[in-house]
Amino acid sequence: MKKKIALLGSTGSIGKSLLELIKKKDFEIIFLAANKNYKKLLKQAEIFNVKNLIISDYKSYKKLILINKNKKIKIYNNFNSFEKIITKKLDYVMSSISGISGLKPTYEIIKFTKKIAIANKESLICAWPILLKELKKHNTEFVPVDSEHFSIWSEIKEAHSKRINKIYLTASGGPLHKLKISSLKNVKTSTILNHPTWNMGKKISVDSATMMNKCLEVMEAKNIFNLDYKKISFIIHPESYVHAIVVYNNGISKIVAHDTTMKIPIFNTIFNENAIYRGMKKIDFKKLNHLNFQDVMIKKYPIVSFLNKIPKKHSLYETVILSINDTIVEKFLEKKIRFNDIATLFLKFIDKVEFKKYKKRYPKGIMEIINLNNLISKKISSVIEKY
C-alpha cells in the first residue's frame, strides 16, 4: 500500500530534494503547498499526479487557476483547506515553509498526520511547548530535518537527557570564515551570499555569516532534546562533514558524520531504517584524518554573545529574538544598513526594556506568537528606517 504524504513548502530546496528522493509507485501525495512559485507547483503536481494544491499568495493563486488545464486538480488559497483535502490521517508530512508564515500550518497539520518532519525554525524555536502538546495529543511522531538536529536525534533516540553530558553542533564558519576581522567592515553582499559549502537562500546565508543561524540551532536543540543551554555548544568545522558530536556521561563520545547534502537527513525522515540511500558514497577517510575543529571567535562573531541572555524557561523572548534578527537582516538585504550593523543593532535591540519584559511571558497560543512577531517587526523596521 502506498504511503499517503503531503509537503508544506514543496517548491523550496527541502521540498524539491524530498520529491527527488521518492517514487510515485511508493507514495501517494495528497497535496503540495507553496507560497508564490505556482508554475513549479503545477509542474510537480503533473509529475506526481497530485490532485490538491495550496498556494498561499493570492496573486499567484489567481494565476495558477488561469494556467491550470487539468480539471482533476483542485486549487486552494489557504491552509484552512486541510479538512476538505485530508479524509484519512496521513502517513507523513514534511513542513519546510520558511519564516513565521510556516508556524500556523505546521501546528494545524499535526492532527492530520502520523508523522511530521519539521524544518521550520520558527515553529521549533518560538512554539515548541505548544507543538509538543499537540504532538502528544494526536500521537504524532516528530522528526527534525536540519542536518545537525537530525544527526543528534538519530544518535540519541530515546536516551534520557540526563545521560547526556554535552552536545556539539558544527558550523561551517560561513562565507566569511577565512576573512580577517578588519576586512568585515566593507565586505560585499555578494561575498556574504556565496556560501562555501552549502547552497543556501539569501536570508540564511546572511545568518550563517553572522553565526546567527548556528545560535538559532542551539535554541532549537535546547527545545527538541530537552537540554539546558549549558549542555549545548557549537564549534567551527569548515569541511561540514561532521554534523554533531554527542558526549555521554559514561565517558563515550559519538561523532555523526555524512556527506554535505541535505538529502541524507531528508531521506531518513521518510524512509525506514532498512532503506538504502542510493546516493551514498564511501567514507571519506581523507576528511576524517584532517578534521579541523575550531573555537568560535566572539570578536569576529559578536552576535553569539546573546546566547547567555536567554532565559532557561521557554518564553515569548524567543519570538523577540527571531523577529528582531529577521527584520535587521531584511534591511541589510535592502541595503539600508551595513553588514557590521547587523550584530550591533541586534545586541542593542534585544537589551531594550520593552523587549526584555517578554522573558517573563509564556506563549499562550500560535496567534500570540505571530502577532508579537508582526508587532516587533514593524517597530524595528521603523527605527532602522531612521537609522
- Give the model confidence (pLDDT) of 31-73 as tens digits: 999 999 999 999 999 999 999 999 999 999 999 999 998 889 9
Place of cell 507547483: 41
Ranking 88-102, 157-171, 229-243, 312-326 by mean pLDDT, the lowest is: 157-171
Q: How many CB atoms lie within 10 A of CB 305?
A: 12
Ranking 91-95, 106-110, 116-120, 271-275 by mean pLDDT, the lowest is: 271-275
Q: Return the closest-CA partner of residue 4 out of 114, 107, 105, 98.
A: 114
pLDDT, position 190: 80
pLDDT, position 199: 65
What distance in Å separates the CA atoms of residue 261 and residue 263, rounded to the nearest whole number?
A: 5
Task: Look at residue 161 and tell me whether its pLDDT is greater than 80.
Answer: no
**Distance from chain centroid for Cα 116:** 14
What distance in Å separates the CA atoms of residue 103 and residue 112, rounded to the nearest whole number?
A: 16
Q: What tens digit of pLDDT does each residue of 210-254 get?
A: 999 999 999 999 999 999 999 999 999 988 899 999 999 999 999
Q: pLDDT-derived band of residue 181, with 50, 70 and 90 as boundaries?
A: confident
The CA-atom distances, in angstroms, between 96 and each of 17, 19, 346 are 11, 13, 26
> DSSP for 32-85?
EEESS-HHHHHHHHHHHT--EEEE-SHHHHHHHHHH---TT-EEESSGGGHHHH
What distance in Å separates the CA atoms of residue 191 and residue 128, rounded to the nearest whole number?
A: 34
Task: Look at residue 131 and tell me whether its pLDDT is greater than 80.
Answer: yes
Q: What tens digit of pLDDT does each residue of 345-359 get?
A: 999 999 999 999 999
Average pLDDT of every residue of the chain: 92
H-run or E-run covering 319: helix 317-333
Of the chain, the percentage scoring pLDDT greater than 70 comes to 98
Q: How many CB atoms lie within 10 A of CB 89?
A: 13
Beta bridge partners of 235: 170
Q: Judging by DSSP bridges, how do beta strands 3-8 and 27-34 pair with one another? A: parallel
pLDDT, position 281: 85
Task: Look at residue 198 and tell me whether its pLDDT is greater than 70.
Answer: no
pLDDT, position 196: 67
What distance in Å separates the CA atoms of residue 55 and residue 53, rounded to the nearest whole number?
A: 7
Q: pLDDT-derived band of residue 274, with 50, 70 and 90 as boundaries?
A: confident
pLDDT, position 184: 80
